[in-house]
Amino acid sequence: MSVETIFSKIIRHEIAADILYQDKLVTAFRDISPCAPTHVLIVPNVLIPTLNDISSRHESILGHMILIAAKIAKDEGVSADGYRLVINCNKNAGQEIYHLHVHLLGGLLLRPI
């Protein structure tokens, strides 16, 4: 697994993205190939390749990712009607970029995730 991902470059603003939120722990931006009317990715600013790579030292980051997802869902106007959070882990689950990320999906799915 790589130590550099496209998400790392987005976090550092080396690649343009529609960033909705960024702080010292996480960055959130719109997915370039959305599966729903609202499709935002929330990523930790440190590289964690998969859920299998988390440890207790990541606990505050993971909790913060969920809190920010709820904030963005409210800001995007999907919290009342409902949304889903999805984390894929490894190839057979559909993970394509090995930098842990939460998909925030609001509205009916346009295609499978």
pLDDT, tens digit, for every residue of 35-92?
999 999 999 999 999 999 999 999 999 999 999 999 999 999 999 999 999 999 999 9
pLDDT at position 108, please?
A: 84
Q: Give domain status of residue 1, yes or no.
A: no
Residue 111 lies in a domain: no
Looking at the structure of the chain, the number of domains it has is: 1
The answer to whether position 53 is within a domain reads yes
Residue 113 falls inside a structural domain:
no
**20, pLDDT greater than 60:** yes
Q: Which domain holds residue 39?
A: 6-106
CATH of residue 74: 3.30.428.10
* Catalytic hit among 13, 39, 58, 101: 101
Asked whether residue 13 carries a pLDDT value surpassing 80, the answer given is: yes
Residue 31 lies in a domain: yes
Residue 41 covered by a domain? yes
Active-site residue 101, yes or no?
Answer: yes
First to last CA, the chain: 22
Encode the chain in three state secondary structure. CCCCCHHHHHHCCCCCCCEEEECCCEEEEECCCCCCCEEEEEEECCCCCCHHHCCHHHHHHHHHHHHHHHHHHHHCCCCCCCEEEECCCCHHHCCCCCCCCEEEEECCCCCCC
Residue 1 reports pLDDT greater than 60: no
Is the model more confident about 26 or about 2? 26
